[in-house]
Structure 1
Amino acid sequence: MIKKQLIMDKALELFAQQGFEATSVQQITEHCGISKGAFYLSFKSKDELILALIDHFMMQFTSNIDYQVKNTNDNEKLLYKFYFATFHSFHQHSDFAKILIKEQTQSFNEELIFKMRYYDRLMENVILTMVERLYGEEIQHTKYDLIYCIKGFMKTYSELFLFYNLPLDLDLLSQSLVEKTNLLARHITVPFISHELVQMFQQPMNEEIKREQIIEIIEQKIKEIEESIEKESLILLKQQLLEPTFSPAILKGLLENIRNHAHCKWISYLLRSYFKL
């Protein structure tokens, strides 16, 4: 596990300098100080490494934003916390965010494109949950336009500080985008993107992960993590999936125990969605 993380960290440094295409496995192994054999014990190919990096970044990004939306009880603060968490995450992982934005505009790799569409759909669902909660019936016919406006804000403003090195005032940026979003939500009258249009251009995606798949992921995490409160919590969460006995309050406590562990963010997201918390 440590060697795999080392490869990902060192490869990221090279990808940031040269891009995906120009970086070879040979360069990665030399930069890591390992043999090619050691590389292939962790990853079958450079493409698998790239997809692992995308998963690592997008799982953390999606789970962090989803947590903020689901656990902010004050609607007055919800939109602000959404934008603050979004741009804080971009800033925290700026090297990989830069690579991802550049490579998406140049890539013809179908697997990479499919992977990014998958996470894009997950983020759309998070935003949809948020805007329906905030504006209700007021945006019934305009909510999909509003979602795409919010996604546009996320992409455009993140590029300002990722590529132009502008000073980043997260508080001011979040306040500014809250104001813009509220104006759009309350004054859009001519929607372009309807529910029917969304259904036409979005491919069906199996968003419901099965209980057995979650259990399999938990079992893998239990093997990877050393003895800790996170490991104990994972064991209890697995028991809950097999034989539900805990109250929602206990479940939330167990999920809170694992939420900030580097290797548990995604399973925390999956469990919150599964238990509808």
Structure 2
Amino acid sequence: MIKKQLIMEKALELFAQQGIEATPIQQITDYCGISKGAFYLSFKSKDELIIDLIDHFMMEIIADIDYTVNNTKNDEELLYTFYYSTFDSFHKHSDFAKIFIKEQTKSFNEELIVKIHYYDRLMEGIILSLIERLYGEKVKHTKYDLIYCIKGLMNSYSGLFLFNNAPLNRDLLCQSLVEKTNLLASHTTVPFITPEDFQMLKHPIKEEITMEQIIEMIEQILKEIEEPIEKESLILLKQHLLEPTLSPAIVKGLLENIRNHPHCKWVSYLLFRYYELEK
């Protein structure tokens, strides 16, 4: 196992058991069976380790949820699919989910706050597109409140089964949340979050990923992977960014080629969002 990956996996186990603040670097290195010097060859600090953990898991969770939602063609199944995909990701990465939910309100490190806020805004973007697709003009004045209602439902029920070891029937849970969300969408009439409020709340987020940053990311991935189909697809996608010549159908096919590769999930998500924004 690569040393950096080993440190991340073992640190995650300790953080899940006793919290981030209570886990010193020395305990992490002892648990990994490595020296402190070896730790600092991979990470400059514990904060950098935490940021890398957030990146690693949130990139995968966001990419998986976004892909599932965008590839659900039946609107009647869309909300259920969104909730199921979200809770499935939480279940799959339960140790990280526990840390993320508990620690995001405790951190006073500015870089960590910005990082957490960044992924939170990405999730809000997925929820907003889902709301607009399902309810359209009917929720024109309340859709931003619905975003926070849905996030609240997700956080509350996630905590229920992550921290209380409650038996969870995911299918029943998702059916119940679909019913609650539809009731809120149908009967909420007094908006609290205005469009101006929603735009104002975006300010702490980092700037959008640029084409140049995506190209740099692709170049780094090309150095790390050997699979010929994924490699060729990345090369073509990079060329298309520099000089657009491919049809949308070909671009979509190339993205399908790379999206399940562990090194490519995030860049495939960014490329998908980039081309959506470019339309």
2:79 matched to which residue of 1? 79
3-state SS, counterpart of residue 105 of structure 1: coil
2:135 matched to which residue of 1? 135
Q: What is the CA-CA distance between 1:47 and the residue it aligns to?
A: 0.7
Give the distance between the partners of 1:202 and 1:243, measured in 2 at CA: 31
Over aligned residue pairs, what C-alpha RMSD do you find? Answer: 1.6
1:163 matched to which residue of 2? 163
2:88 matched to which residue of 1? 88
Q: What is the CA-CA distance between 1:204 and the residue it aligns to?
A: 5.4
1:145 matched to which residue of 2? 145
Q: What is the CA-CA distance between 1:215 and the residue it aligns to?
A: 0.3
Q: Residues 142-178 of structure 1, C-alpha deviation per residue, up to 9 Å, x if partnerless?
A: 1011111000111001111101111221111111111
3-state SS, counterpart of residue 105 of structure 2: helix
Give the distance between the partners of 1:30 and 1:238, measured in 2 at CA: 42
2:115 matched to which residue of 1? 115
1:7 matched to which residue of 2? 7
Q: For structure 1, which segment, 76-85 or 256-265, has the greater mean C-alpha deviation from structure 2 after superposition?
A: 256-265
**Identity level (%):** 74
Alignment of 1:239 with 2:239, yes or no, is yes
Q: What is the CA-CA distance between 1:127 and the residue it aligns to?
A: 0.7
Q: What is the CA-CA distance between 1:250 and the residue it aligns to?
A: 1.5
- Is the CA contact (8 Å cut-off) linking 2:117 and 2:204 kept in structure 1? no
**TM-score, length basis structure 2:** 0.94
Q: Residues 211-259 of structure 1, C-alpha deviation per residue, up to 9 Å, x if partnerless?
A: 1110000111111112342222212211221222222112111111211
1:50 matched to which residue of 2? 50
Give the distance between the partners of 1:139 and 1:246, measured in 2 at CA: 37
Q: Residues 248-274 of structure 1, C-alpha deviation per residue, up to 9 Å, x if partnerless?
A: 112111111211222211101100011
Q: Which amino acid aligns with 2:98?
A: K
Give the distance between the partners of 2:126 and 2:201, measured in 1 at CA: 19
1:59 matched to which residue of 2? 59
Give the distance between the partners of 2:123 and 2:48, measured in 1 at CA: 23
- Is the CA contact (8 Å cut-off) linking 2:114 and 2:205 kept in structure 1? no
Q: For structure 1, which segment, 236-245 or 137-146, has the greater mean C-alpha deviation from structure 2 after superposition?
A: 236-245
3-state SS, counterpart of residue 166 of structure 2: coil
- CA 200–252 in structure 1, closer or farther in 2 if over 3 Å, else same: closer
**TM-score, length basis structure 1:** 0.95
2:267 matched to which residue of 1? 267
Q: What is the CA-CA distance between 1:108 and the residue it aligns to?
A: 2.1
3-state SS, counterpart of residue 168 of structure 1: coil
Give the distance between the partners of 1:73 and 1:262, measured in 2 at CA: 25
- Is the CA contact (8 Å cut-off) linking 2:146 and 2:184 kept in structure 1? yes
2:31 matched to which residue of 1? 31
Alignment of 1:194 with 2:194, yes or no, is yes
1:176 matched to which residue of 2? 176
Q: For structure 1, which segment, 176-185 or 108-117, has the greater mean C-alpha deviation from structure 2 after superposition?
A: 108-117
Give the distance between the partners of 2:243 and 2:105, measured in 1 at CA: 46
